[in-house]
């Protein structure tokens, strides 16, 4: 009998099979992931999590019979009250049946479908598969101010700490062989032989030969060093500029009296989606929350979403605040800047032209992308278009970096988001 | 008390070895079990999930369906909906038992008795296993299958291999020889044969042959009887038929079908004697643990743990608490085994009437071993299900006639009902009840090469329509031409339903 401890064996035997399932059910999994987000479980977007897909996406058919009509006999256990001849009411939808050997598939399937637990990365990959950040490349190449040290081959000089021992010894050995440096063992064996022969009569000739050989060997050993400076190899490093991979995202939201909680919730969903999306593309994403009514202020996330505020609306204050923060902390040369603004489109009449010019002249030249979503509902609608919408549209028409969409309902958030970031095929 | 095999719940390799030796002594000297050499492997829960995924085998080729099973099990396990087995045992020589690392020392001893001796004895001695499977070669064959399929994936692409595997998996229930030619596959020879054939193909490949004009193949309609004899029809093993006769498959595709077929054949006996197998193992482990306790090799606490976990395993829920017509194989099996032992040693008047051959013969172990070797679930129940067990489980029979608005209780656990109930339970375990009776009956060789199949059944027991459609599509894909399945009445031969599938159009 053998006992074998298999516990240290390589794990994850089924990762490949798991990947194949995901591939096979890709369409269904993707739809389910997006539904989960659309259904408002957005907090989970960042975590990954469980999703269910309809089981027929992974159907394994087989030929098997089902009982539909006629007579069959079923033996059950646990009889407490029945006697022969009793009539039992038929249980709804064939309980106590089961229909024979139908369960070929094994566990993990239920009526509601097949459940996957996705890792965060898998989830986001599926989720954002066909989306991309617009206008990303241009700015990245332009802003390469941070430097990184990287390996770049070998050199024959350098500091001792960077000595590449393996290569140095390889060269040393090649040189020693090339110059026929005698091995120390050879010298040792000659000396041994000399010691045994010395004083033995009739071996003087041999002794003389060995002594001559020894002298020559010792001379060569002295002449040809073990390690010569020409053998030395050092690891070389060079400094290369690295493209910036950090981004800041400004969330601007109108918190005036006309924004209801529901509307704020919609805005929040949009912001969160954008945040997760940016996190996929950048190593570091910072968030700045700016809320405004008549005046604008930078606040933390919690206040931003939950602190009730009322008052009139002056949108330009938010834009100015955003500019102030940006100039102070996030210089455009080293940061990728994204702005998302959510509003109900309500604004003080005279302020809209000011906003438009701020956007056009000062903000858009600095940022990667400016997304404006207008949450449609309340009374600020004039012929279907709000004042702010019209003002912005004039800017957006001329600038591809600015996009604007209207959102009326939770369901719209994701389509709008996808619409904004869908991959474009050489459009501009 | 220094005789104790271990103390407390912690196990070590030393306690496992000691337990094994003590158990082996009882199994061989007292129970006279005859087992394959044992190999015991300790695994983690994650590895246990892997084993579940590959049908309890240590390795298997890659396919998405295993991933699906894995995800399903994993998700159920992580959510606490499913516990993992304490062990898995493989019908191989040497017999491999997997023990979970989470088990307590008592559980390790219990599962050694259960798997390494109970199941092992059953594997080695049961006629069905002996006739249908060859235990010594299966692991090597799986290794070969895995490597072969991987090499096909490399050569022809994952998609192309998946297409064949999907189709073959759909048909694997119809991919076994059920009746004739019961001859265990020699897996080693199998592997050598595949290699040889591949080499031969490569050696004799000559592109010139392609340019030789082909002769007119079909000389009008041949005699039906002659044609069917030539194709070996009727054939119930669809995968075998495809492997040998499908006109448009490449050699490697045939080999993959063969792999799926042989593995299906290996698993074929298992559902047919699952109840006995589990009953045998449970009875053996309980008996052995009891003996260890009597010999003072395990303490009272351990014995209580044994009783506790055995009781958990052999619970049969009643019809109103979730028990269906699928009996818990451990429950029914254990009840029958211990009942047979009781009949042999301490029979009642009733037992003497029902089992005159064995009642009071005093040789419980010999009688059980004979049963384990010579029967399968169906015949075992037909032979040995006693009134005492029927009463214990309070079995009753429902007659479900869809014409009537009610279900009729037509037999219960009383003198009039015993035989009816026993017959019905046995019928439930009848393999012909487990699988649909489908066979290839004809091929239209001179016409459109349509493959004709027949499912013999009766009204109200037709194939699941949606699944049948999807499966036939797979079949048509492998066959390369249209496939037609008739469902006919077993007695009158009248056609009850027709399914037709054509292969997906591929640009030639």
Closest partner residue to A108 (CB to CB) among B75, B394, B401 is: B75
What pLDDT is recorded for position A145? Answer: 58
Say if B179 is an interface residue toward chain A (CB within 8 Å). no
Say if A205 is an interface residue toward chain B (CB within 8 Å). no
Residue A72: closest CA among B412, B401, B459: B401
Closest partner residue to B470 (CB to CB) among A50, A59, A65 is: A59
Closest partner residue to A1 (CB to CB) among B40, B395, B396 is: B40
φ, ψ dihedrals at B98, nearest 5°: -95, 130
Reduced to 3 states (helix: H, G, I; strand: E, B; else coil), residue B134 is: coil
Quickly state the pLDDT bin for B317 (edges 50, 70, 90): confident
Between the alpha carbon of residue A150 and those of residues A102, A344, B117, B312, B315, the distances in Å are 61, 50, 61, 62, 66
Cross-chain Cβ contact A14/B67 below 8 Å: yes
pLDDT tens column, B423-473: 999 988 888 777 888 888 888 877 788 888 999 888 888 888 888 888 999
Tell me what the pLDDT averaged over chain A comes to: 77
Measured in whole angstroms, the distance separating CA A246 from the mean position of its chain's CA atoms is: 14
CA angle B289, B295, B301 (to 5 degrees): 55
Q: Which residues of B touch A79 (CB under 8 A)?
A: 318-319, 394-396, 412-413
pLDDT tens column, B111-160: 999 999 999 999 999 988 888 777 788 888 899 999 999 999 999 998 89
Cross-chain Cβ contact B40/A17 below 8 Å: no
Residue at token pair 């798997």? B115
Domain A246-421 fold: Rossmann fold (3.40.50)
Say if B16 is an interface residue toward chain A (CB within 8 Å). yes
Residue B277: closest CA among B187, B368, B359: B368
Mutant choice from A5, A54, A79, A90 vs B, greatest count of B C-beta within 10 A? A79
* Overall average pLDDT of the B297-322 stretch: 88
Closest partner residue to A7 (CB to CB) among B101, B393, B400 is: B101
Burial of B300 (0-12, 13-18, 19+ CB in 10 A): exposed
Quickly state the pLDDT bin for A97 (edges 50, 70, 90): very low
Phi-psi region of B322 (alpha: psi -120 to 50; beta: other; left: phi over 0): left
pLDDT tens column, B148-198: 999 999 999 988 999 999 999 999 888 888 765 455 566 667 777 777 777
Cross-chain Cβ contact B467/A61 below 8 Å: yes
Residue B506: closest CA among B152, B151, B160: B160
Q: Which helix (H) or strand (E) holds A372?
A: strand A369-375
Cross-chain Cβ contact B13/A23 below 8 Å: no
Residue A340: closest CA among A235, A421, A239: A421
pLDDT, greater one: A368 or B97 = B97
φ, ψ dihedrals at B3, nearest 5°: -75, -10
pLDDT tens column, B213-249: 655 544 445 567 777 777 777 888 889 888 888 888 8
Cross-chain Cβ contact A50/B13 below 8 Å: no
Chain A residue with Cα closest to B423: A75
Distance from the B220 Cα atom to the nearest Cα atom in chain A, whole angstroms: 34
* Rounded Cα–Cα distance for residues A104 and A114 (Å): 15
Phi-psi region of B480 (alpha: psi -120 to 50; beta: other; left: phi over 0): left
Domain boundaries, chain A: 17-56+113-129, 160-236, 246-421
Half-sphere exposure of A133 (CA within 13 A, CB side): 26
What pLDDT is recorded for position A138? Answer: 44
Three-class DSSP labels, B55-105? CCCCCCCCCHHHHHHHHHHHHHHHCCCCCCCCEEEECCCCEEEEEECCCCH
- Is residue A276 predicted with pLDDT exceeding 50? yes
* Rounded Cα–Cα distance for residues B120 and B97 (Å): 9
- List A247's β-bridge partners, or say none: A285, A336
pLDDT tens column, A346-397: 777 788 888 888 888 888 888 888 888 888 765 444 446 777 888 888 888 8
CB atoms within 10 A of CB B5: 24
Reduced to 3 states (helix: H, G, I; strand: E, B; else coil), residue B498 is: strand
Say if A184 is an interface residue toward chain B (CB within 8 Å). no
- Is residue A191 predicted with pLDDT exceeding 70? yes
Cross-chain Cβ contact A85/B321 below 8 Å: no
Which of the listed ranges A40-44, A138-142, B233-237, B450-454 does the model predict with the highest average pLDDT? B450-454
Q: ipTM of this model?
A: 0.79
């Amino acid at each position: 009998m053998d006992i074998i401890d298999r516990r240290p064996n390589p794990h994850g035997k089924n990762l490949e099979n798991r990947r194949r399932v995901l591939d096979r059910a890709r369409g269904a999994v993707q739809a389910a992931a997006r539904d989960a987000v659309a259904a408002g479980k957005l907090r989970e977007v960042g975590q990954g999590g469980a999703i269910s897909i309809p089981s027929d996406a992974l159907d394994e058919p087989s030929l098997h019979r089902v009982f539909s009509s006629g007579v069959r006999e079923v033996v059950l256990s646990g009889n407490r009250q029945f006697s022969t001849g009793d009539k039992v009411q038929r249980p709804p939808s064939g309980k106590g049946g089961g229909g024979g050997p139908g369960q070929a598939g094994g566990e993990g399937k239920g009526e509601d479908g097949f459940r996957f637990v996705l890792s965060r990365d898998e989830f986001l990959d599926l989720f954002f598969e066909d989306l991309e950040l617009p206008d990303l490349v241009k700015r990245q190449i332009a802003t390469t101010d941070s430097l990184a040290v990287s390996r770049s081959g070998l050199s024959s000089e350098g500091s001792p700490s960077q000595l590449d021992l393996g290569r140095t010894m390889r060269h040393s050995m090649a040189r020693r062989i090339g110059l026929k440096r005698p091995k120390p063992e050879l010298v040792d064996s000659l000396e041994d032989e000399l010691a045994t022969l010395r004083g033995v009569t009739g071996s003087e000739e041999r002794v003389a030969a060995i002594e001559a050989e020894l002298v020559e060997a010792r001379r060569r050993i002295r002449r040809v060093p073990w390690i010569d400076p020409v053998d030395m190899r050092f690891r070389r490093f060079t400094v290369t500029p690295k493209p910036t991979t950090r981004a800041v995202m400004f969330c601007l939201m109108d918190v005036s009296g006309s924004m209801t909680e529901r509307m704020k919730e919609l805005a929040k969903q949009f912001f969160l989606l954008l945040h997760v999306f940016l996190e996929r593309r950048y190593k570091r994403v910072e968030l700045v929350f700016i809320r405004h009514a008549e005046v604008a202020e930078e606040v933390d996330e919690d206040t931003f979403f939950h602190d009730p505020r009322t008052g009139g609306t002056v949108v330009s204050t938010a834009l100015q605040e955003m500019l102030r923060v940006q100039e102070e902390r996030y210089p455009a040369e080293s940061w990728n800047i994204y702005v998302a603004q959510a509003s109900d489109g309500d604004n003080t009449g005279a302020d809209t032209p000011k906003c438009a010019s701020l956007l056009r002249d000062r903000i858009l030249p600095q940022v990667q992308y400016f997304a404006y979503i207008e949450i449609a509902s309340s009374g600020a609608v004039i012929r279907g278009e709000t004042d702010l919408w019209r003002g912005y549209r004039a800017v957006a028409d001329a600038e591809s970096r600015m996009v604007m969409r209207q959102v009326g309902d939770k369901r719209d958030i994701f389509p709008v988001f996808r619409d904004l970031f869908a991959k474009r095929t050489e459009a501009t | 008390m220094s005789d104790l095999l271990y103390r407390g719940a912690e196990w070590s390799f030393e306690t496992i070895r000691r337990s094994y030796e003590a158990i082996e002594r009882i199994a061989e000297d007292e129970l006279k079990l005859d087992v394959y050499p044992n190999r015991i492997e300790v695994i983690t829960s994650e590895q246990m999930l892997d084993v579940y995924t590959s049908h309890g085998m240590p390795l298997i080729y890659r396919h998405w369906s295993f991933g699906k099973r894995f995800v399903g099990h994993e998700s159920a396990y992580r959510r606490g909906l499913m516990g993992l087995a304490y062990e898995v045992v493989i019908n191989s020589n040497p017999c491999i038992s997997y023990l979970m690392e989470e088990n307590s020392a008592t559980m390790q001893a219990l599962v050694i008795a259960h798997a390494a001796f109970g199941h092992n004895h059953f594997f080695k001695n049961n006629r069905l296993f002996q006739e249908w499977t060859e235990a010594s070669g299966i692991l090597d064959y799986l290794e070969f299958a895995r490597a072969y399929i991987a090499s096909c994936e490399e050569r022809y692409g994952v998609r192309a291999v998946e297409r064949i595997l999907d189709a073959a998996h759909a048909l694997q229930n119809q991919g076994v020889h059920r009746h004739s030619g019961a001859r265990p596959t020699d897996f080693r020879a199998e592997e050598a044969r595949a290699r040889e054939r591949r080499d031969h193909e490569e050696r004799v490949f000559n592109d010139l042959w392609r340019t030789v004009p082909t002769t007119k193949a079909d000389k009008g309609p041949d005699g039906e009887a002659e044609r069917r004899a030539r194709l070996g029809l009727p054939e119930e093993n669809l995968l075998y038929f495809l492997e040998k006769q499908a006109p448009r498959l490449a050699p490697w595709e045939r080999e993959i079908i063969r792999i799926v077929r042989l593995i299906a054949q290996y698993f074929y006996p298992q559902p047919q004697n699952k109840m006995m197998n589990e009953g045998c193992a449970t009875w053996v482990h309980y008996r052995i643990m009891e003996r260890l306790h009597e010999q003072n090799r395990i303490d009272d606490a351990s014995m209580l743990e044994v009783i506790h976990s055995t009781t958990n395993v052999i619970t049969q829920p009643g019809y109103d608490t979730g028990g269906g017509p699928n009996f818990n194989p451990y429950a029914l099996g254990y009840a029958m085994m211990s009942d047979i032992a009781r009949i042999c040693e301490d029979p009642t008047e009733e037992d003497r009437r029902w089992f005159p051959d064995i009642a009071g013969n005093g040789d419980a172990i010999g009688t059980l071993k004979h049963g384990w070797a010579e029967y399968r679930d169906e015949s075992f129940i037909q032979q040995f299900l006693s009134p005492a067990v029927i009463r214990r489980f309070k079995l009753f029979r429902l007659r479900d006639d869809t014409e009537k608005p009610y279900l009729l209780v037509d037999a219960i656990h009383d003198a009039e009902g015993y035989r009816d109930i026993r017959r019905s339970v046995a019928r439930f375990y009848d393999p012909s009840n487990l699988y649909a009776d489908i066979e290839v009956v004809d091929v239209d060789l001179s016409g459109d090469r349509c493959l004709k199949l027949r499912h013999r059944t009766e009204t109200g027991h037709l194939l699941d329509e949606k699944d049948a459609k999807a499966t036939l599509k797979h079949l048509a894909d492998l066959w390369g031409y249209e496939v037609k399945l008739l469902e006919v009445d077993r007695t009158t031969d009248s056609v009850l339903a027709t399914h037709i599938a054509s292969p997906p159009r591929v640009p030639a």
